[in-house]
């Protein structure tokens, strides 16, 4: 196969630069696709800058991939050339352990193969992500994209979408529930859309009053500005679920206190430092504090189908690949509404 064009971080914290790599020849169970769009996730920045440690370089980020099938292996039955498909955070797993058999491949006991900054299941071959012209992925880890949604707006569903859909489903979000969404960014704006489509009454908690109009446009019925922590003392204990999407350091206890008895707060964001939690904040009300990590392949396909039915997509700004370093800096300033998506056709320019 010809060398594949891409953009890569050559070392931790270095600007991304043009790069080329070898993709494997498709085997009988593989799907070979041309990447059309790839979403830019905040975790791309964390990993390209080795903020979570253990990164390997050169690194080609990108795990919100939408592309068109170029060709398929002889044993592939679900896809054909020309199909619009997606690839999310995983490209393989052991497929035999209990989590894999239960369609929660993200918890593979052998360790799944992540789409980038990892290795194939041989634990030797590095994985390179979607900031590239082509990818080759096992059929089981390829997803059908929903009809009627622009592919660029569908790309972030493959991470931001499943990351917020999964905890809402896991904790039983239903019509009439009161759901708080902490933070209105790439994750938070998807959480609002999903919770509203599930019939919940949604409140957005944000430090920026400027986001109130967007919150209501996306489906929220209420908005609380939290720049002054004293505001929490005036809030009733009323929420069934609070989905916290913020990755900056902040006080979990303030949001836990807004839960009704037996309510659940779910952590979706990943602050860089540990966050103290008061035992009494949990005990006094039998409240729960939980975490959630993406979703398995079956649930991700369920989410995509839900989006097709309810016409849910991400709010995106499409950029050329040459603007990726500027996009990273803008993301860190919160200067995007609400997800950057790379047009990979620009790789050839």
Q: What's this model's pTM, rounded to 2 decimal places?
A: 0.96
Residue spans per domain, the chain = 4-158+314-348, 161-291
Whether the per-residue pLDDT at 348 is higher than 90: the answer is: no
Contacts of 284 (CB under 8 A, 6+ apart): none
Q: What's the CA gap between 317 and 337, in Å, rounded?
A: 7
pLDDT of amino acid 349: 75
Only one residue has tokens 């795990």, namely: 63
CATH topology of domain 161-291: Rossmann fold (3.40.50)
For the 4-158+314-348 domain, the top CATH level (class) is: alpha beta
Average pLDDT of the chain is 96
> Are 339 and 186 within 8 A, CB to CB?
yes
State the angle between helix axes of 297-310 and 186-197 in degrees (0 to 180), rounded to the nearest 10: 70
Percentage of residues in the chain having pLDDT higher than 90: 96
Q: What are phi and psi of 271, to 5 degrees?
A: -60, 150
The arithmetic mean of pLDDT across residues 36-41, rounded, is 98
- Provide DSSP, 14-44: PPPEEEEEPPPPP-TTEEEEEEEEEE--HHH
Taking phi over 0 as left and psi of -120 to 50 as alpha, with beta for the rest, 132 belongs to: beta
> Are 129 and 19 within 8 A, CB to CB?
no
Burial of 141 (0-12, 13-18, 19+ CB in 10 A): buried
CA distances from residue 11 to 14, 17, 116, 326 in whole angstroms, order as listed? 6, 11, 14, 17
pLDDT 10s digits, 169-194: 999 999 999 999 999 999 999 999 99
Q: What are phi and psi of 317, to 5 degrees?
A: -120, 115
Tokens of 137: 């992925």
Confidence of residue 1 (pLDDT cuts 50, 70, 90): low
Strand partners for 67: 35, 85
Strand partners for 19: 6
CA distances from residue 253 to 109, 112, 181, 209, 260 in whole angstroms, order as listed? 32, 33, 15, 22, 14
pLDDT of amino acid 104: 98
CA distances from residue 334 to 63, 189, 259 in whole angstroms, order as listed? 20, 13, 27
Q: Check if 4-158+314-348 and 161-291 are the same fold.
A: no
Only one residue has tokens 């170029």, namely: 70
Whether the per-residue pLDDT at 290 is higher than 90: the answer is: yes
The arithmetic mean of pLDDT across residues 133-142, rounded, is 98
């Amino acid at each position: 196969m010809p060398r594949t064009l891409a953009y890569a971080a050559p070392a931790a914290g270095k600007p991304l630069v043009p790069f080329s790599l070898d993709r494997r020849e498709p085997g009988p169970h593989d799907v070979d696709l041309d990447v059309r769009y790839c979403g830019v996730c905040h975790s791309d920045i964390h990993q390209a800058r080795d903020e979570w440690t253990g990164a390997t370089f050169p690194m080609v980020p990108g795990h919100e991939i939408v592309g068109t099938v170029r060709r398929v292996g002889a044993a592939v039955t679900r896809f054909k050339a020309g199909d619009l498909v997606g690839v999310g955070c995983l490209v393989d797993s052991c497929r035999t352990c209990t989590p894999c058999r239960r369609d929660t491949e993200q918890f593979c006991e052998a360790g799944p193969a992540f789409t980038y900054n990892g290795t194939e299941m041989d634990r030797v071959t590095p994985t390179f992500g979607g900031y590239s012209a082509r990818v080759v992925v096992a059929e089981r880890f390829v997803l059908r994209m929903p009809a009627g949604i622009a592919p660029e707006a569908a790309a972030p569903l493959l991470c931001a979408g499943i990351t917020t859909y999964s905890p809402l489903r896991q904790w039983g979000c239903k019509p009439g529930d009161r759901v708080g969404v902490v933070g209105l960014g790439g994750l938070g704006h998807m959480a609002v859309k999903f919770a509203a489509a599930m019939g919940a009454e949604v409140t957005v908690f944000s430090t920026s009053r400027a986001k109130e109009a967007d919150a209501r446009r996306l489906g929220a019925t209420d908005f609380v500005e939290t720049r002054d922590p004293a505001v929490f003392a005036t809030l009733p204990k009323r929420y069934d679920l609070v989905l916290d999407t913020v990755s900056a350091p902040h006080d979990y206890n303030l949001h836990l206190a807004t839960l009704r008895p037996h309510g659940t707060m779910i952590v979706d964001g990943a602050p860089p430092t540990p966050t103290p939690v008061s035992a009494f904040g949990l005990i006094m009300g039998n409240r729960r504090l939980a975490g959630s990590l993406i979703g398995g392949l079956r649930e991700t396909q369920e989410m995509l189908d839900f989006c097709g039915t309810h016409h849910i997509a991400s709010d995106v700004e499409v950029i050329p690949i040459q603007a990726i370093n500027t996009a990273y800096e803008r993301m860190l300033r919160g200067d995007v509404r609400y997800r950057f998506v790379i047009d990979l056709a620009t790789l050839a320019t």
